[in-house]
């Protein structure tokens, strides 16, 4: 990457007082968590229709839960990386800071980020399909599929394809992007909407955009700074 490009992006990041961030699976790659669409990603070897849709869950809840339990075990063993930590540091010095994430792994919270919008839910939450009750459940689930005290089937508290996002989440994210001077987009393929729509919303609305990704995305040509590389290496250099 050109040093001049990184320098300009750093100046922009240091100057901005109102910052919004959009992250995806790539931000957790260096914590050892696979992405979805890159090489070795989940959707390269699994059918998302089976594992990440309400229909797939109703067809075979045990199979879906086995996959989520495996992911939960992997995430439980993972630690935040310098990319997550850089965002927590940025939040300290910004006057307004909103971190919008598509990740369900909770690593931004662990790194110390406070104002986090989880567009796709939280893998540590379980929700009853009968009574709607929700709780955080970090321990291993012994019986799969797990059941609620009411007898109903528990599901992972994540958003599946075809489902609505958590109430108010995209509205709050949109408002934060519109108010921001700078949007930092890191580690997302920008293929999944409405999350990806935040990028053109910013770029076409006069908000500066820094994109950090190991590869180009559909929006790389539209952003102010497209930085190619690993988020855990580049983000600390922007703080």
Q: Which residues are tagged catalytic?
A: 120
Q: Tell me: does residue 178 bind ligand OAD (CB under 6 A).
A: no
Is 213 in a helix, a strand, or coil? strand
Binding mask 188-217 for ligand OAD (x = CB under 6 A): xx-xx-------------------xxxx-x
Per-residue binder mask for ligand OAD (CB under 6 A), 115-154, x = binder: -----x----------------------------------
Helix ranges (DSSP H) in the chain = 3-15, 42-45, 48-51, 54-59, 61-76, 82-93, 107-111, 169-179, 198-203, 231-234
Q: How far is the CB of 163 from ligand OAD (least distance, A)?
A: 8
How far is Cα 230 from Cα 71, in angstroms, rounded to an integer? 22
CB atoms within 10 A of CB 49: 12
Which sign, positive or negative, has the C-alpha torsion 158, 44, 140, 74?
A: negative
Cα 94 from Cα 114, distance rounded (Å): 12
Contact status: 28 vs ligand OAD (CB under 6 A): no
Which of 6, 41, 89, 200: binder of ligand OAD (CB under 6 A)? 41
Only segment of 37-45, 59-67, 86-94, 145-153 that touches ligand OAD (CB under 6 A): 37-45
**List of residues contacting ligand OAD (CB under 6 A):** 24-26, 29-30, 35-38, 41, 52, 102, 120, 159, 187-189, 191-192, 212-215, 217, 230-231
């Amino acid at each position: 990457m050109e040093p001049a490009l990184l320098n300009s992006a750093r100046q922009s990041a240091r100057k901005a007082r109102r910052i919004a961030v959009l992250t995806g699976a790539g931000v957790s790659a260096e914590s050892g968590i696979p992405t979805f669409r890159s090489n070795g990603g989940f959707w390269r070897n699994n059918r998302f229709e089976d594992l990440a849709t309400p229909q797939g869950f109703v067809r075979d809840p045990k199979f879906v839960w086995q996959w989520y339990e495996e992911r939960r075990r992997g995430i439980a063993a993972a630690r935040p990386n310098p990319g997550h930590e850089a965002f927590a540091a940025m939040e300290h010095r910004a006057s307004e800071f909103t971190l919008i994430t598509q990740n369900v792994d909770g690593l931004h919270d662990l790194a110390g980020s406070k104002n986090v919008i989880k567009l796709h839910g939280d893998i540590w939450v379980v929700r009853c399909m009968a009574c709607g009750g929700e709780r955080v459940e970090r321990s291993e689930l012994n019986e799969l599929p797990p059941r609620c005290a009411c007898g109903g089937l528990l599901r992972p508290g994540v958003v599946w394809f075809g489902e609505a996002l958590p109430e108010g989440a995209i509205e709050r994210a949109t408002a934060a992007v519109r108010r921001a001077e700078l949007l930092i987009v890191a580690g997302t393929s920008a293929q999944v909407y409405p999350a990806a729509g935040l990028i053109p919303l910013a770029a076409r609305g006069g908000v500066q955009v820094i994109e950090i990704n190991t590869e180009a995305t559909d929006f790389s040509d539209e952003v102010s700074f497209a930085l190619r590389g690993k988020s855990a290496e580049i983000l600390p250099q922007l703080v």
